[in-house]
Amino acid sequence: MLGGDEVAQWDVALSDGVYRIQFSHGTTTGKRVVYVNGQEVIRRDWLFKLVGRETFTVGGANTRAAVVIEAVGGFAYEYSLQLEGRSLQKFTANRALTCITWLLRLDGEDCRVVLEKDTMDVWCNGQKMETTGEFVDDGTETRFMLGEHDCCIKATSGGKKKGGIVHNLLLDGEKIAASAQ
């Protein structure tokens, strides 16, 4: 598990779940260790170069990630996370435009439903859902089942030129509010 050299930690929301990335850096030995959800994915011992980057993938879609280590004077270092070549902040902002997340409690279980707007793929708790899509009078409906519950993501026009498309999740006909993540 994690050693005493942990210097950075990030939480990354992807379609198939939220991943915790932790980074340990031994500034006297150059050791670098990357953990994803507590599992070691990279270990480098005895590196002479204390700055640089460690690349790896995260999640079922193998999202490209990198921990970047930069010197900020003396023996001080700054650590940042990049995903798909972008800073975590830019990656998260882009995902907010391309994905919608709903968090709900269903039959005593927490559920995280994610719609990828560009592909119309639907994920629930890390599993890609089997869906059926159809055109209806006021837009489209993407239907799937969560256990015994009928779900529908209804896409309709926002009504304004720049309003875009509005996506609503209906669970057994009841509208569920979208989440911030």
Q: Which domain holds residue 26?
A: 6-84
Q: Which two tokens stand for residue 180?
A: 């911030």
96-127 pLDDT, tens digit per residue, is: 899 999 999 999 999 999 999 999 999 999 99
128-143 pLDDT, tens digit per residue, is: 999 999 999 988 999 9
- 70 and 26 belong to one structural domain: yes
The CA–CA distances, whole Å, from 113 to 46, 87, 96, 110, 128 equal 42, 25, 14, 10, 10
Answer yes or no: is 90 within a domain.
no
CATH number at residue 22: 2.40.128.180
Answer yes or no: is 1 within a domain.
no
58-105 pLDDT, tens digit per residue, is: 999 899 999 999 999 877 899 999 999 999 999 999 998 999 999 999
- 171 and 104 belong to one structural domain: yes
- The total of structural domains in the chain comes to 2
Nearest Cα to 65, choosing from 25, 23, 100, 118? Answer: 23
Answer yes or no: is 93 within a domain.
no
- Domain termination site, one of 55, 84, 113: 84
With tokens 């990049």, the residue in question is 82
Nearest Cα to 35, choosing from 77, 15, 65? Answer: 65
